[in-house]
Chain A
Amino acid sequence: MDFNLSEEQQMFRDLFRDFAEKEVAPVAEHTDHTEAPPAAVLQKAAAQGFLGAPFPEALGGAAMDQLTYCLLLEALAQQCASTAVTVAVHTSLAGLTLLEAGTAAQKEAYLPRLAGGELGAFALTEPDAGSDTSVLQTRAVLANGGWHFDGVKSWVSNGGTAGLYLVFAATEPGKGPAGLSAFIVEKSAPYLVVGHREPTLGLRGLDVRTLYLEGGPLPEGELLGPLNGGWALAQRAQDRFKLALAAVSLGVAENALALGVRFAVERKQFGTAIAQKGAIQTYLADCATEIESVRHLVHHAAWLADQGQPYARAAAMAKYLGARVAKDTANKMLQVHGGYGFSDEYAISRVYRDSRALKIVGGTDEVQRFLVAQAVLQEAGVAIQP
């Protein structure tokens, strides 16, 4: 076993941290306040190859492995969780799904665009299909040489800022998961209407939208992957996204801890820095320990993915624990800040709000725990349903 990052990974990590500190950190507050993703920073990230991090070089990417890509997300999240999730949606949900299932022509047409800074979005969730995406209401019907849509998608991240959308719809209604297909839809499509911008508690810089799909035609060739093969694509995309969110959670937790430590050292009460108080030390110790365990889960899951081994269960564990630790760490570090933690003048309140969203986006804690339990019980020969 070797727990060290490779030299290349270390070099990238330093590069990511440098970028995040110089470019992302200065606009993190602004991003939260204006509730808009930092367009200029994302363009700079694209120029550095960060928006196509795990794509092949031939398609405009930087050919990074999953672990290195996780280091990128972690570094971004250490400064701004909204920016990190924007990149995670773009890369893990949209880009890598295209890379996995696209035809050579589709990949050549779309991946360089994504790597070049045009954002990708992933339209799966619907008002009545949150954690349970087997019951999609959106329909796609092939008529007169094109696909025609009818349906509503909710909580679509990058929904208003993306150039390219992967849309999931029922092509054989009534067959549930076996009747779903994926499609590549351009923002310019007249039948794609960007709706309500969901105002959110945290991750305010993430552009979350309702999308309306009314009509067509989408050329037949814009079907992504096999007809009625959308369910499996969505599942694998969500596994990737879990790993990405686990890396984001890690970064958020590290950021919270760093803010807490800085405050504890500076703040004096009852004659000493509060860092000298046993109660505060307990908080710091607990958080640091939990963060390390998340780091190992994330790196291990990414390593499994890079080795081509099954990693879905590891990703679910990392996502679940990561989100929990991010939120608990932010909560404790806000407490360390006392009244200042409640003020918008200090970053910890933003980090705390951001961390809360992580326990819900990309599959709630309950869903992750179910998946882990399902895997555990499967080994004991028991099949369970949600």
Chain B
Amino acid sequence: MEFTFTPQHLALRRMLREFCEEELRPRAKQLDRTGQPDREVLRLMGELGLFGVPFSQKYGGMGAGEVGYCILMEELNRVCPSTATIIGAHIGIGAMSLYLDGAEALKQKYLPDICAGRKIAAFGLTEPNAGSDAAGIQLRATPEGDSYMLDGQKMWITNGPIADVVMTLAVTDPALGARGGATVFAVEAQWDGFSAGKPEKKMGLHGSPTSLLNFDNVRVPKENVVGKLGLGFVTFMKTLDIGRVSLGAATLGGAQVALEAALRWAKVRSQFGRSIAHMQSIQFMLADMAADVEALRSLVYRTAWLVDNGQPFIREAGMCKLLGSEIASRCIDRALQIHGALGLSRDFHLERGWRDARIAEIFEGTNEVQRIVIASELLQEVGVRIRP
């Protein structure tokens, strides 16, 4: 067994820690207030290669693997969950579907720009009638000459308003539907007929724009089919599986920063004549938080290691997302409690962290869906098949 990070990954983490503290932290509050992504910081991130961390250097990626990508997501989410979400939608699911299943020519066409941050990617799955249950996809792709015409709507698309290329799941064979009749297309935002709606108003993640996408007969050339015709649903599910690992890593960052904040405050805050660090009710919260963080850290990086070593990881990935989102919410909630009224203040960062963290229990498959998926795998091993 080997539980240490490589020097490459440690160096990457050092750089990211400094970058996030120096460049991102001063902007995080502003991002939450204005809801506008900070183009300058995104440009800087592009220069440092942060838009292509897990991808091969062959395509202009950083070549840091899933472990490196998890380090990125942990460090970003430690300071600014909105920015982490932009990157998560861009790399973790948007570009990842192309990277996993795209034809070589299509990868060469888009990945270098995606890795450099010149093009922002998004992942177009959810529709008004297809949330956790993706089988209800209605966006249609109709062949016309050497193209497909895409018509329909996507909703709740992270990066929707800022995306340059959207990996879009569309029905190519209505008779088969999601299972065998849906295909992924790489759709450029500049093409006629494509438009993004206004950013949604959300409880948290204000700096990560989410919107509706309209496809009004968008002409997409056939070479922009990602993966095999009809197997788009498989591509997307595979993508979501791997995306859950880095999502777990992001939640780890949220839990970690909560623990750090709680420790700092417990040390300096005095009530009843002594530092609250001396009160057992506080100590127990800190101990529980630390245990949570440590367990999550082990799970996330072990799962990332499974991915990098070509071993099965799907069940663990679901657990990363499930456990991670709940641990992050719990840790941030405890940190907020330890801070008392200050925790409730929007002048202080915990309140933002608390709002931002909550969505992780919901998006990319609600935790209920994760439980169903994990349970169905477990039960399958003992010969029981279940339906949601």
Mark A residues whose CB is within 8 Å of B.
125, 128, 130-132, 134-135, 154-155, 198-202, 269-270, 277, 279-280, 334-335, 338-339, 341-345, 349, 352-353, 356-357, 359-361, 364-366, 369-370, 385-386
Q: How far, in angstroms, from A19 to B139 measured CA to CA in the complex?
A: 46
A339 touches B271 (CB 8 A): no
A-B contact pairs, 24 of them (CB 8 A): A128-B270, A131-B271, A135-B273, A198-B347, A200-B351, A201-B351, A201-B354, A269-B131, A269-B132, A335-B366, A335-B368, A338-B362, A338-B366, A341-B362, A342-B362, A343-B202, A343-B203, A356-B333, A356-B336, A357-B344, A360-B344, A364-B340, A366-B282, A370-B281
B133 touches A155 (CB 8 A): no
B358 touches A338 (CB 8 A): no
Q: Which of B338-360 contact A (CB under 8 A)?
A: 340-341, 343-347, 351, 354-355, 358-359
A270: min CB distance to chain B, Å = 5
Please indicate the chain A residues that have their CB under 8 angstroms from the CB of B267 in the complex.
none
| B209 on interface, CB distance cutoff 8 Å | no
| B21 on interface, CB distance cutoff 8 Å | no
Name, among B133, B341, B346, the residue most crowded by chain A CB atoms within 10 Å (CB to CB).
B341
A201 touches B358 (CB 8 A): no
Q: How far, in angstroms, from A334 to B358 measured CA to CA in the complex?
A: 9
A386 touches B271 (CB 8 A): yes
Q: How extensive is the interface on chain B, given as a class?
A: 35 or more
| B156 on interface, CB distance cutoff 8 Å | yes
A339 touches B363 (CB 8 A): yes
| B39 on interface, CB distance cutoff 8 Å | no
Q: How far, in angstroms, from A218 to B363 measured CA to CA in the complex?
A: 57
Please indicate the chain A residues that have their CB under 8 angstroms from the CB of B346 in the complex.
199-201
Closest to A337 in B: B362
Within the complex, which residue of A199, A270, A335, A343 is in contact with B200, where a contact is CB–CB below 8 Å?
Answer: A343
A130 touches B341 (CB 8 A): yes
Given contacts A130-B341, A343-B201, 19 further A-B contacts (CB under 8 A): A128-B270, A201-B354, A269-B133, A279-B368, A335-B366, A339-B131, A342-B358, A349-B202, A349-B203, A352-B203, A356-B344, A357-B344, A359-B337, A360-B336, A360-B343, A366-B279, A370-B281, A386-B272, A386-B279
Q: How far, in angstroms, from A361 to B337 measured CA to CA in the complex?
A: 11
Q: How far, in angstroms, from A161 to B340 measured CA to CA in the complex?
A: 24
Query: What are the 10 closest A-B residue pairs judged by CB atoms, nearest first?
Result: A199-B346, A344-B201, A349-B203, A201-B351, A132-B271, A386-B272, A269-B133, A270-B388, A132-B272, A366-B281
Within the complex, which residue of B156, B201, B341, B358 is in contact with A360, where a contact is CB–CB below 8 Å?
Answer: B341
Please indicate the chain A residues that have their CB under 8 angstroms from the CB of B200 in the complex.
343-345
Name, among B273, B344, B371, the residue most crowded by chain A CB atoms within 10 Å (CB to CB).
B344
B114: min CB distance to chain A, Å = 25
Please indicate the chain A residues that have their CB under 8 angstroms from the CB of B74 in the complex.
none
A360 touches B340 (CB 8 A): yes
Q: How far, in angstroms, from A338 to B156 measured CA to CA in the complex?
A: 12
Name, among A342, A366, A370, the residue most crowded by chain B CB atoms within 10 Å (CB to CB).
A342
* Given A128-B270, A270-B133, A339-B131, A353 contacting B355 (CB threshold 8 A): yes
Please indicate the chain A residues that have their CB under 8 angstroms from the CB of B131 in the complex.
269, 338-339
A327: min CB distance to chain B, Å = 8
Within the complex, which residue of A199, A338, A364, A385 is in contact with B345, where a contact is CB–CB below 8 Å?
Answer: A199
Closest to A130 in B: B340
Closest to B341 in A: A155
Interface mask (B120-157 → A, CB under 8 Å = 1, otherwise 0): 00000010000111010000000000000000000010
A136: min CB distance to chain B, Å = 13
Please indicate the chain A residues that have their CB under 8 angstroms from the CB of B270 in the complex.
128
A338: min CB distance to chain B, Å = 5
* Given A199-B346, A335-B362, A342 contacting B354 (CB threshold 8 A): no
